[in-house]
Amino acid sequence: MPAAKETLQQSIAQQRSELLQVMQEPLQRLAERCHPVWTDRTRLDQMLVDGLQTLPFGRALYAVDTGGIQVSSNVGADGLAPASFGRDRSKRPYLNVVLPVSGTLLSEAYISLIGRRPSLTAVQVVRDRAGIVLGFIGTDFDLRDLPLTHKLYDEPAVWRQLKGDPSIRDTVFHQHRVESAMDQHIDTVLGVLEELMVYHGVYHVMLHFSSSRAVLWVMDDPYRYRLLDIDALNDPDICLAYPVTTYPKDALVPRDRIRAVLELFRQLRFMDEMFYLRSGTLNLFNGIVGLTFSCDGSHYIPHDEFLSAGYDFWVDNK
C-alpha cells in the first residue's frame, strides 16, 4: 500500500517536532546552570555567553523574569548587548502565550522586530532547587538558519473553493461578458495549446480569456515562464518555437484528456453573459484544474472530477 501523502499542516507539525527535539536538551542543561546565578547579572550574562555555544543554530539568547522583563543582556554572535537589560518582552508572540511550567516551548513562527524576517523562539522554564519558577530563557532562531530537512509536502488532490475580491462579487449582477480577441479565435487558441502540451513540453498553462493571453511553463526550462499574447496564440507557427518533447510518463493528466479539459474551458467561458469563466489553468503533473469566474470565485479541482462534473454542474450551480 503506498504511503499516505503528507499535508501542509502535517509537514509543519513534523518539522516543529524535529526542531524541538534538537533544541530542548541543551536548553534544559543551560537552565540548570543558570538558576544558581539568576540574581547575579554579570555571572548570568557569562553563563548565557557560554550557553549560546551549545545551542545549535541559535541567533540570540536572553533571560526574562516571570513577568517577561529581561534580566540579562542580549547574547549574540557579536557578544553582549547590555542595552537590552530591562526590556519588556511580555507582549512578544513567544511570551504572550501560556508558558511552560516545565520543559521547553517552541513558539509559532513570527516576524522579528529588528530583522523583519520569519523567526522562532524556544522558551525554557528556569526553576530553583525548591522548584519555584524564576523565569525563562529564550533563544531566537532565524528560519533561514534552521536545518529544514523534512521533505516537501504534497499538494492535496481535492476540490478546493476559494472566495475572491468581495467588491467584484458585490457587482457581479451589474456586469456582462465582453467578447475578447481570444473568444473570437478560440478554436485556434485551444488547438495550439493542446499541441504545445501534448508534443512540445508545456506542462502548466494559465489561460486568461478576458485579457487574451496565456502564461506557459516548459519542462526543458521549468524556472521561467513564457507569456504569449493573442497574436502568438492565434498563430499555429508558434509550435515551431518549442522543441518536440516526449509526453511525460509521470503526468497525472492522460494526453488524451487535455483536449476535453480545454473544451470544457470553452463551454464555461460562454456559459452565461453574467457568470462566466475568466481564466483557467491546467497542470499535467499534479493533475489540477484551476478556474476563476466572473464573480471572482476560484476552484482548484482534480482534472478527472472536473470532467466528471461536466458543464451541467456549473450551469446548475452558477
Kindly report the CATH number assigned to the domain that includes residue 139. Answer: 3.30.450.20
**Domain shared by 124 and 55, yes or no:** yes
- Domain boundary among the residues 119, 145, 171 is at 145
DSSP 240: G
Asked if residues 214 and 207 have their Cβ atoms less than 8 Å apart, the reply is: yes
- Domain boundary among the residues 145, 178, 211 is at 145
Total structural domains within the chain? 2
Each residue of 158-205: pLDDT tens digit? 777 766 555 555 555 556 778 999 999 999 999 999 999 999 999 999
Reduced DSSP (H G I as helix, E B as strand, rest coil) percent helix, strand, coil of the chain, to 5? 35, 25, 40
Q: Which residues, at least 6 apart from 48, have a Cβ–Cβ distance to it below 8 Å?
A: 30, 34, 61, 62, 63, 72, 73, 75, 137
**Domain shared by 209 and 280, yes or no:** yes
**Domain shared by 164 and 311, yes or no:** yes
**Domain shared by 187 and 120, yes or no:** no
Range of the domain at 61: 8-145
Phi, psi for 273 (deg, rounded to 5): -75, -15
- Would you state the pLDDT for residue 2? 39
β-pair partners for 70: 64
Question: Taking Cα atoms as reference points, which of 210, 214, 217 lies closest to residue 296?
Answer: 210
Asked if residues 155 and 80 have their Cβ atoms less than 8 Å apart, the reply is: no
**Domain shared by 203 and 172, yes or no:** yes
**Domain shared by 180 and 93, yes or no:** no
Each residue of 41-66: pLDDT tens digit? 999 999 999 988 888 777 889 999 98
4 confidence band (pLDDT: 50, 70, 90): very low
Q: Can you give the pTM of this predicted structure?
A: 0.69
β-pair partners for 135: 65, 126
